[in-house]
Amino acid sequence: MKLLQEYISIKIHQTDLNLTSFIKSQLEPFNLAPEQNLVMMLLWEKDGLTQNEVAQKLDKDKTNIARMASNLEKKGLIKRIGCPNDRRSVRLYLTPCGKKLGEQVLPIAEEFDKIVCKGLSNEEVQQLERLLSKINKNVHT
């Protein structure tokens, strides 16, 4: 029988907790939770995504994304606008405040990525991405 610390799933979980804790502390001054930041990162990349597109890209359920979008709207960072040709679809747009926040948070995300990948070669990062992709595929089937 394996010891607890020998399970790869436990190591991945512990790494996820460490990463989340670190980025949470970095985002705290901006009143932005790590999950909310993921939504904002997508919108900084491409403004006007639908809630469904965000849910798909983040592999989250639509209800979770709708709740996050509502909270981000209350914070004045985004505006939710219904699509005129599809009543069930809602697009998310950055407010001027949300755009300005990106100028502060994106450099933090860049620095975070550098910290996480410190000491790893490009090949190792690509290999890690492939391995994580395989693991994700294994548990999604």
The upper half-sphere exposure of residue 56, i.e. CA atoms within 13 Å in the direction of its Cβ, equals 5
More confident residue, 35 or 4: 35
Whole-number Å distance between alpha carbons of 100 and 77: 9
Residue-wise pLDDT for 40-94, tens only, equals 999 999 999 999 999 999 989 999 999 999 999 999 999 999 877 777 789 999 9
pLDDT class of 121 with cuts at 50, 70, 90 = very high
Ordered by where they begin, the domains of the chain are 35-111 (1.10.10.10)
Spatial CA neighbour of 40 closest among 87, 76, 16, 13? 76
Q: Which run of H or E residues covers position 91?
A: strand 86-94
Whole-number Å distance between alpha carbons of 41 and 39: 5
pLDDT reported for residue 67? 95
- Structure token digits, residue 103: 């100028």
Q: What is this structure's pTM?
A: 0.86
- Structure token digits, residue 88: 């069930």
Residue-wise pLDDT for 99-114, tens only, equals 999 999 999 999 999 9
CA distances from 62 to 13, 32, 88, 96 (A): 24, 20, 12, 25
